[in-house]
Amino acid sequence: MEPVNVKMDELDLRVSIGSLKLQNPVMTASGTFGYAREFESYVHLQRLGAVVVKGISLEPRAGNPPPRIFETACGMLNAIGLENVGVDRFISEKMPYLSALGVPVIVNILGDSVDEYRQLAERLAESPGVAAIEVNISCPNVKKGGVAFGTDPQMAAAVTKAVKQGCQVPVIVKLSPNVTDVTLVARAVEEAGADAVSLINTLIGMAIDLKSRRPRLANVIGGLSGPAIKPVALRMVYQVAQAVSIPIIGIGGIASAEDAMEFLLAGACAVQVGTASFVNPRATEDVLDGIATYVREQKLESVRDLIGALRIG
């Protein structure tokens, strides 16, 4: 692993997501960083703002049959099918390593019913290392639940309320971009008590193999991520920033510090790096170093000076 080469002692990169204090605004995106250990050879994990782990369900899930991924122009489709070890094994097998890292651990959860979300929140609230819960109401891959929760403001609010009731830690609701008006869902979950929103999850996409005349994914459709979707993500973050007053975490196609700072300017308090970590496993740390360098070179008092600092008109 490369040595840490950007001095950050004197820089103020701290941001808050409600009561959750982060040493800097750079997190991992759920499902793209495994359970963090996978990246220990590449990234100084203790430098991250927070680690967001793969989506966890009540019961273990085997996931979808292959092929599960396909590369597209500046992006990729995935239909992993939310393969995960289930909440019990997550707590017993994965949390010990994660909580020892010394950075906030945010657990992404998904359920098939409002009650499952509540149960997940309750189970995780018992695990002391969990700093916050990110509620995935937007995954497009599972037929039951996933889609409906994220596209219907009322359902999204119901899930938010249930999770809030189930736990004391900050609750971040992760929004789907596959909607006509993302601000409606954002406002609904804000009213329902969400401490923050994160966006965007993947756009729904598809690809076809001309040779076999079959879909490239066994699941037919999948989630589009990567640099290709960044303009859509940035627009939605900007729109939501005008609509809600809770903190926003920006996600979608972030591969460089410049990308990340665009999201901060648009109104995000923090960002998540997703697909970029597949291409460059050190992407999260590279984004962090780039932000730090910018804050130093521009002599900003803190990284918070960037948040929402977009100039219009």
Partner 1 sequence: MSQIQQKVELIQSEVIAAGTVRLTLNAPDIAAAAVPGQFVMVQTAQGLDPLLRRPFSIHQINSEGLLQILFKVVGRGTERLAQCRTGEQLSILGPLGNGFNLGESGNACLVGGGMGIAPLLFLASRFLQQSHGGVTPRVILGARNREELVPLMGDFLALGIEVLAATDDGSFGYHGLVTDVLKTLNLTSQSSVYSCGPKPMMAAVHHLCQKENIPCQVSVETVMACGMGACLGCAVPLKAGGYAHVCSDGPVFEAGELLWSL
Ligand X SMILES: Cc1cc2nc3c(=O)[nH]c(=O)nc-3n(C[C@H](O)[C@H](O)[C@H](O)COP(=O)(O)O)c2cc1C
- Taking phi over 0 as left and psi of -120 to 50 as alpha, with beta for the rest, 145 belongs to left
Q: With CB under 8 A as the contact rule, which of the stretches 35-43, 107-115, 157-165, 296-304 interacts with partner 1?
A: 35-43
**Can you tell me which of 147, 217, 251, 306 binds ligand X, judged by CB under 6 A?**
251
Query: Is 226 among the residues that bind ligand X (CB under 6 A)?
Result: yes
Contact 26, 288 (CB under 8 A): yes
Q: Which of residues 222-241 bind a copy of itself (CB under 8 A)?
A: 224, 226-232, 234-235, 238
| Residue 259, both tokens | 């990308």
Is 139 tagged catalytic? Answer: yes
Query: Is 281 among the residues that bind partner 1 (CB under 8 A)?
Result: yes
Nearest by Cα to 249 from 225, 226, 270, 266: 270
**Can you tell me which of 69, 101, 125, 206 binds a copy of itself, judged by CB under 8 A?**
206
Q: How far is the CB of 247 from partner 1 (least distance, A)?
A: 26
User: Which partner, partner 1, ligand X, a copy of itself, none, binds residue 97 by CB below 5 to 8 Å per kind?
Assistant: none
How far is residue 40 CA from its own chain's centroid?
A: 19
Q: Which is nearer to partner 1, 75 or 153 (CB)?
A: 75
Q: Which of residues 25-64 bind ligand X (CB under 6 A)?
A: 29-32, 54-55
Query: Is 54 among the residues that bind partner 1 (CB under 8 A)?
Result: yes
Alpha-carbon gap, residue 121 to 133, rounded angstroms:
8
Contact 256, 280 (CB under 8 A): no
Q: Which of residues 284-303 bind ligand X (CB under 6 A)?
A: none
Task: List the end-to-end C-alpha distance of the chain, in Å, as a whole number.
Answer: 45
Q: With CB under 8 A as the contact rule, which of the stretches 1-9, 129-137, 193-201, 215-223 interacts with a copy of itself?
A: 215-223
Q: How far is the CB of 70 from partner 1 (least distance, A)?
A: 7
| Residue 267, both tokens | 């109104």
User: Which partner, a copy of itself, partner 1, ligand X, none, binds residue 127 by CB below 5 to 8 Å per kind?
Assistant: none
> What are phi and psi for residue 10, nearest 5 degrees?
-85, -5
**Can you tell me which of 254, 257, 260, 292 binds ligand X, judged by CB under 6 A?**
254
Residues that bind a copy of itself (CB under 8 A): 72-75, 77, 151, 178-181, 203-208, 210, 212-215, 220-221, 224, 226-232, 234-235, 238, 253, 258, 261-262, 265-266, 309-312
Catalytic sites, residue numbers:
139
